[in-house]
Chain A
Amino acid sequence: MTDKHPLILDIKGNSLDDGPGIRSVVFFKGCPLSCVWCHNPESKKTGSEIAFDPAECVGCDTCLTVCPEKVLSRRNPFFIDRDRCTLCFACVDECPSGALSRVGREMTVDEIVAAVVRDKPFFDTSGGGVTLSGGEPTLFPDFLARLLAALKAEGIHTLLETCGQFNEAGFMEQALPLVDIIYYDIKLIDPDLHKKYCGVANRTILENFIRLTKSAGKGKFMLLPRTPLIPGITATPENLSAIAKFLADHDIKNAQLLPYNPLWPAKNQKIGIAEPKKTTDDSGNWIPREQIMAYQSIFADHGIAT
């Protein structure tokens, strides 16, 4: 696994949905998984990309003139011929509207801290802090540990969102002592299905989780397993029962079910990925409230609050 400097996709302030209180969320670029439903497709690759948002474009054609490779064309449905694009970003620099933008930028630990520490007064009043998300922050263990240490030095509460696919040795020693809350995704219990839908098997993920449950007992950090509800994939009675049983076996009392967001396919277009095939017949709709309550009861049957 590479531990070069990560690219930061975005730092989103004023979030009330990514942990307790008012939080800033730092999105890392790059992920070891490739879930078919991923709603942050721009976070999959570790390298920089160019995004084009046709809704923002004012049609001034400045980009067409500045592109040295002439890879931009209004006849191309994705606008950019990414096979020939050298990522020189000349078009991004000259675009007046922001329709062309750079996805992922290098930031030092200090720069990230400076960007989030401005909102520390809000964290303090609301019991909030910083959430590290992605992509997958653990893809960059050294950087992650340095960032966490710097945040802690500022007295900032930290929350890590992870898919669990990390090298446990380094993580447990370096990062874990600096994390207050871990949101840990457990998507599918069946290893074959996990491999099919997420690109890798789930052995490491489940083993890492079990290790964390042992540390969590000591009260240093809070561990919250989360399962995204993807119709026909994760949101099946078999999978959810299996996850609930697995969690109950490891003494977990709280978990979270994340409602499916059907708006994700539109994001792919911007970074040049064709709209993916629908995963199931239902994928264009929100899950009804009654259905979610039925899923919650599966967990409740195992003594787990969601």
Chain B
Amino acid sequence: MFFFQTGKSIDLPLPKPKFSAVHLLLNALLRVFAANFNLRPGLKKYLRSDQGWIDFTIGMATDSGSVTASVTFKEGRVRVSAAIPKKPDTMLTLHSEGAVLKLLSATPTEQIFMVLKGQLSPWGNQSYLNLFFFLLSLLMHGKQQKQMEKERKKSKKDLLKASPRADTRLSDELAARQSVRMCAKDKDPGVTYLEEPYLSDLSLDDFPRIQGFLDIHFETRPQICVELPKLVTDWHKANGYETDNADNPWHPLLRKGHAFRHLMENRKPLIRKNDLIAGTTTTKEIGVVVYPEGHGSMIWGELLTVPHRTLNPYDLSEETRNILHHEIFPYWARRNFKEWVRARYDNPLCQQIDERFAIYFLWKSATISHTIPDFPKLLRLGISGIIAEIGEQLKAFANDPDKTAALEAMILCLEGLAAYSRNLARQAETEAQNETDPARKKELARLAEICNQAPLHPARSLDEAVNAVWITWVGLHMESTNAGLSLGRLDQWLQPYFAADMEKCFTEEERNACIRHAVELIACLYMRCTDHLPLTPDIANWVFGGSSSDQAITLGGVTPDGQDGVCDMTYIFLKVTEMLSIRDPNVNARFYPGINSDTYLKRLCEVNLITTATPSLHNDKTVMASLSDFNYAIEDLRDWSATGCVEPTLSGKHFGHTNFQMMNMVAALEMALNNGRHPLLNWKFGPDTGSVETGDFTTFDEFFTAFTEQFKFIIDQSIIYNEMLAEAHQVLRPTPLLSSLIDGCIRTGRDATVGGAKYNSSGAALIGLADVTDSMMAVKHLVFDEKKITFADLKRAVDDNFENHPAVRALVTKKVPLFGSGSDAAVAMADRIAKFAHDHYWNKPHYRGGRYTVGFWSMSNHVAYGTLSGALPSGRLRGKAFTPGLTPEPHASRNLTDNIRDVARLDYKNITNNIAFNVKVVPAAGDSREKTVDDIYSYVKTYFDLGGMQMQLNVVTSETLKDAMAHPENYRNLIVRISGYNAYFVTLNRDMQLELIERAEYGI
């Protein structure tokens, strides 16, 4: 029965239902709800899609069974019953009667917190759950909006009370960082054309066009765009989904190919006013893309409230709302990844765990995306060249229907992309004819020429190359969700086209103009990348707050043959990064100690100082060494790029879904402390591994084994779910366009989703390494080694959130050597945990061949998972954020050098999906730019010399962050590194802002 899914053992006898007052109230209210929909035509119309009535059933009950009710929607009638039918589509279980009352008046945000806090557990079809919430909000949204407004006002009032006056010295100091710019003291061997590689004479003031785009970026409210789902849904309605019009089952690849071509041929070819790059991902200035087979319908419940929510509000027109509700979401209610798995595998345990949020989150439930396409090939061959190559291969596979379908689907997608490019060319021509400003007229005419050349044919200039990259980028984002798809080594790949342009210059003046144009063009590309945002249901504002789609660009490092890769374009990208200081694209810089220059590393430090948070810094040598067991060809390995946040992908050859999951390691620790039960969820689903209270653990190793057993269990469940979702992707969303741009897929005639790529893997992000390590150190050191406290006493203090246990809390926080303090034992503990994780994932078979990789970075899940976790033996209190990535606890050491040494000496063999190590440094007020940069450089360089893998800086004081929290209007462009990605500080949720403020701060 349904409500056993909350984790109550199935063998427990059901308490006898007694009809409480709440039971009667709920049923009465639901009857009012039903009557409204049955009797008011203005509401009844919402029960209908363009294909007929939407039929589904929702059940509701309390844990104890004291309240039960169900609502059945059938053929336009709403019926309420106190009994629950045998198989409701969706079941809501509430942990108490109070929660029932709360749910009925909750805002969408409050509903989320009820789920997160374990007060409400949904089970079953989530599309229908969201639809039910939408129908509720049709009655309640006036009240919900007022409530949201009230909360917003109160929170603003509290902040202003704490900090009534803005400290403009702080915001001015940040702004002033742009005005001082160093010159390069030296030139890297790969720099041919730039006289002064830092380009210190250029600033944003030189580019009014870009300044205009930046204003739009910061001042435009994003809008939900239905172009993609509307075109695709209409195509499917006309041509079938499961079967075609002749009733034959569709081959998923061909279906995708045709639908994609239809989409690309028919979407509007838009050129943003004044832009040097043609094409947009949506029809809006800043558009939110809805992917219906992914997580699109998660916004269903918020269609009336999303413009009013506090975090990340979007606008949507009434027409958009109606199209989504009547035409799109009903069609996909069962045709999306989660529901496909639920139906096929009967709501498996692995999926139930995922949907409780506290243990793991599978990104595959929304998308795969995270990879790097082979742009060099596209630029070299053009679409025409790639189609010709596929055509040749088709002959070889003439007798294999699957391979033929895979290749034909690629051609269909490439044809769609070509059609879009030609449409853009026509659009540019038309606009050029109508343009009255002669300068712009010329640009538009040029743009028409460009779009007729690239990406259709090989690129010949930087303009053509950049437009080809962007137009293809648009196509890739029409094929799969905008989350973590990454651009790769654009400095390396665009350098030949920049060089070709420069070689055509004969005078100093022409050369300067050409360099300036390159800077402006790349700035346009960055701004293009901001034209779309991922669809963020409010729950994701709490779990992945402030994240854009994380389009990583990778700079520097070594070339495939091992030479210094830093070139002119590297510095041009860094100049643009410095001038724009925006969160996305997510810029990552590779540095190879001993090969890349100090000039380059110092520039990376300076750009971090000016922008406060970017680029992220990677040690090329360590990243490559960590992947040495994978048998990657060395020249491919040297061509790695960061993906999404920080994760390595071998560019253009590797389908490495590098963020298939976010895994909460602390959950395994909590389950080990509670014999398989997760305390917040109050759900025992892990194995029996022993009880602390009854003294089952006589040695530390026994307890460590309990932890690894629980960890194994949740890893295994998450991998089962990953493979089920992978199957859903193969059926619902193969990616032929992407496959045509990943080495191996054409050769093998296989889509990337079924293992066509040359290299395959899936990457996990494991969260809470420092918190688990420190907790293990506390248990080992205080309970088993020094015997300062019994395990049961420590457990009691943890269960009580250390309230009334001040001495225990003091002991665990002050007398335990922590990770990041310089303690050999703590580093060994961190290695032991990482090694266990690495080995266990490594040994799991992978559905596409290849391996599971593990990394230690957290996006913003260290905050979200922290909210969902109890107190820990480390002394961390209930609900507090974990540390970001594998960053040591702020109180581990007062010395940044201890932190750096400990992170640098981890065994990186166990860390195959990179890390995020946050360091917050604060420049001294009186120091010169050179001195400050030298100081930052000293830490970064030493960290790399010691073998550290990745470091990301926040060069901002807590004082400034506090000011920004209360006075966001002065800090619209303040970017901060969360854990792997950048966000605008003022758009973050409160918990995330506090976590950033509380991070250790080191003066320099």
Contact = CB atoms under 8 A, between A and B. Distances in A.
A62 to B, nearest CB: 7
Nearest to B904: A121
Contacts of A121: 942, 945-946
Given A14-B895, A14-B897, A96-B815, A62 B807 contact: yes
Contact of A58 (B810, B895, B896, B898): B810
Contact of B938 (A12, A56, A118, A122): A122
B807 A14 contact: no
Contact of A126 (B806, B809, B822, B938): B938
Nearest to B937: A125
A125 B945 contact: yes
A98 B816 CA distance: 12
Interface in A206-251: none
Given A96-B815, A119-B897, A58 B806 contact: yes
A24 B808 CA distance: 32
Contacts of B807: 58, 60, 62, 96-97
Contacts of B345: none
A272 interface: no
Contact of A98 (B814, B822, B896): B814
Interface in A3-29: 12-14, 16, 21-22
Chain B interface mostly: helix
Interface string A118-144: 110110111010000000000000000
A22 B815 contact: no
B876 interface: no
Given A62-B807, A96-B807, A118 B901 contact: yes
A118 B945 contact: no
B810 A60 contact: yes
Interface in B912-940: 924, 934-935, 937-939
Interface in B593-623: none
A59 interface: yes
A88 B953 CA distance: 46
B1002 interface: yes
A37 B934 CA distance: 34
Contacts of A21: 938
Nearest to A118: B901
Of the candidates A16, A118, A124, the one having the most CB atoms from chain B within 10 angstroms of its own CB is A16
Nearest to B898: A13
A59 B945 contact: no
Contacts of B806: 58-60
A60 B814 CA distance: 14
A13 B900 CA distance: 12
A144 to B, nearest CB: 24
Contacts of A59: 806
A196 B637 CA distance: 71
A122 B814 contact: no
Contacts of A122: 897, 900, 938-939, 942
A126 B934 contact: yes
Interface residues of B, number: 29
B897 A97 contact: no
A259 to B, nearest CB: 11
A165 B196 CA distance: 52
B1004 interface: yes
Interface residues of A, number: 22
Contact of A96 (B814, B898, B1002): B814
A128 B935 CA distance: 11
Q: Which of B814, B896, B938 has the most CB of A within 10 A?
A: B938
Contacts of A128: 938
B827 to A, nearest CB: 12
A79 B895 CA distance: 30
A12 B924 CA distance: 19
Contacts of A118: 822, 897, 901
Interface string A40-68: 00000000000000001011101000000
B598 to A, nearest CB: 10
A138 B947 CA distance: 38
Contacts of B1002: 14
A80 B81 CA distance: 73
B621 to A, nearest CB: 15
B845 interface: no
B638 interface: no
B811 interface: yes
Contacts of B729: none
A121 B941 CA distance: 9
B938 A97 contact: no
Nearest to A58: B806
B1003 interface: yes
Contacts of B810: 58, 60, 96-98
A3 B279 CA distance: 80
A303 to B, nearest CB: 23
Contacts of B897: 13-14, 22, 118-119, 122
Contacts of A62: 807
Nearest to A11: B895
Contact of B811 (A12, A96, A119, A124): A96
Interface in B880-900: 894-898, 900
Contacts of A13: 895, 897-898
B803 to A, nearest CB: 13
Given A118-B822, A125-B938, A97 B814 contact: yes
A125 B939 CA distance: 8
A128 B942 CA distance: 12
A58 B1004 contact: no
Nearest to A119: B897
A125 B898 contact: no
A16 B939 contact: no
Contacts of B945: 121, 125
Interface string B832-869: 00000000000000000000000000000000000000
B822 to A, nearest CB: 7
Interface in A106-124: 118-119, 121-122, 124
A13 B945 CA distance: 19
Contacts of B924: 16
Nearest to A22: B938
Given A96-B811, A96-B814, A118-B822, A125 B941 contact: yes
Nearest to B598: A125
A60 B896 CA distance: 32
Nearest to A94: B788
Nearest to B900: A122
A62 B808 CA distance: 12
B895 A126 contact: no
Interface in B395-448: none
A13 B814 CA distance: 19
Contacts of A60: 806-807, 810
A96 B1004 CA distance: 32
A99 to B, nearest CB: 8
A22 B810 CA distance: 31
Interface in B783-831: 806-811, 814-815, 822
A102 to B, nearest CB: 14
Contacts of B809: 58
Contacts of B896: 14
A41 to B, nearest CB: 21
A254 to B, nearest CB: 17
B345 to A, nearest CB: 51
A22 B938 CA distance: 8
21 contacts: A13-B897, A14-B896, A14-B898, A16-B935, A16-B1003, A22-B938, A22-B939, A58-B809, A60-B807, A62-B807, A96-B808, A96-B810, A96-B814, A97-B810, A97-B814, A118-B822, A119-B901, A121-B945, A122-B900, A126-B934, A128-B938
Given A118-B822, A122-B900, 4 more contacts: A13-B895, A14-B897, A14-B1002, A124-B942
Q: Which 6 A-B pairs have the closest CB atoms?
A: A126-B938, A97-B810, A60-B807, A58-B806, A96-B811, A14-B895
Interface of B: 806-811, 814-815, 822, 894-898, 900-901, 924, 934-935, 937-939, 941-942, 945-946, 1002-1004
